[in-house]
Amino acid sequence: MAWKGRNAFSFGRLLASFTYAIQGLRHAIKTEKNFQIHLSAALIVSICGFVFRLGRIEWVFILICIFGMIALELLNSAIEKTVDLVTEEIKPLAKQAKDMAAGAVMVYAIMTVVIGLIIFIPKIMELFQ
């Protein structure tokens, strides 16, 4: 007996969720300056990864950094939009929510830079030996 309740699998619902996700990505690419910066950095790092012939494990770390950064930036933008939707006034709690979300992005960005330096500095140093 098939479950016909609210949680039943529906290919149409699944397809719609992917469509909404793609719409969200398109919107972020078109309108969010920080998202555009992160995408540009991801492209540059990816090109450098191919130029320096990164190993499999190095690529794993780079991809975790890239996709984690993109996901976190999307969450940060969603939080900012939600806070802006709830109130147009400057409220301390709204500011704190937006600042903490931005802080989470900054912490992750610092980690990605450190990982990038750990991976790429030895490769760059080899060029000068």
Per-residue confidence (pLDDT) for residue 1, from 0 to 100: 45
Assigned token pair, 4: 């016909």
Residue 87 pLDDT: 86
Point out the residues that are catalytic.
73
29: region left, alpha or beta (phi > 0 left; psi from -120 to 50 alpha)? alpha
Q: What does the pLDDT read at residue 23? A: 96
Residue-range domains of the chain with CATH: 11-127 (1.10.287.3610)
pLDDT of residue 89: 86
**Alpha carbon distance 41, 47 (integer Å):** 10
Contact 76, 105 (CB under 8 A): yes
CA–CA distance, 66 with 73 (Å, rounded to integer): 11
Please tell me the predicted confidence (pLDDT) of residue 38. 97
What is the reported pLDDT for 5? 56
Q: What is the pLDDT along the chain (129 residues), one digit of tens a residue?
A: 455 556 667 888 888 999 999 999 999 999 999 999 999 999 999 999 999 999 999 999 999 999 999 999 999 999 999 999 998 888 999 999 999 999 999 999 999 999 999 999 999 999 998
Return the pLDDT at 4.
56
